[in-house]
Copies of this chain bind each other. A is one copy, B any other.
Amino acid sequence: MDRDAAAARQEIALLLRRLNVELDAVGQRFAELHGLNRTDVRALVAIMDAARRGEALTAGRLGEAVDLRSASVTALVDRLEKVGHVRRVRDPEDRRRVGLELSDSAMAAGAEHFGGLARDLSAAMEDYTEEELALVRRWLEDMTGVIMRHSRGAP
């Protein structure tokens, strides 16, 4: 087996890790720009993702999304509510539940920051043919599958 090919694959793996670092830094930058911490940003993203999917997150489900216990979720939502990024909305169906709604300003800030990145990524991909992108997509799915076996299940 070619050593060159193996080295090339290792380089690609390193490149992927580098991309990972930079992608995390995008969230970090959003946090700094808006006086938030990493958890706050992850929470806002989770709420935005749910909103884009048409569902409003409850406090509990947000906790699952960002892996926090209920006490921390209460503190988290307190922080986000205090700066006006989210509203608590009691669910009339089940009055124990607390729904979370993003404010327009938070929605706009998120769209500006992360939507801008998505737009630029999409634009950069215009240089690729449909077949090339299909290959990239298959590769991404393959790598994600491998990574998930390490991030969740057995070694």
Interface string of A18-54 (1 = CB under 8 A from B): 1110111110110000000000000000000000000
Nearest Cβ on chain B to A117's Cβ, whole angstroms: 5
Interface string of A102-133 (1 = CB under 8 A from B): 00000000001100111011101111101011
A69 CB-CB contact with B under 8 Å: no
A75 CB-CB contact with B under 8 Å: no
10 further contact pairs, Cβ within 8 A, besides A16-B140, A17-B23: A16-B23, A19-B143, A19-B147, A20-B23, A28-B151, A113-B155, A124-B145, A125-B139, A132-B139, A136-B139
Q: Are A146 and B132 in contact (CB under 8 A)?
A: no
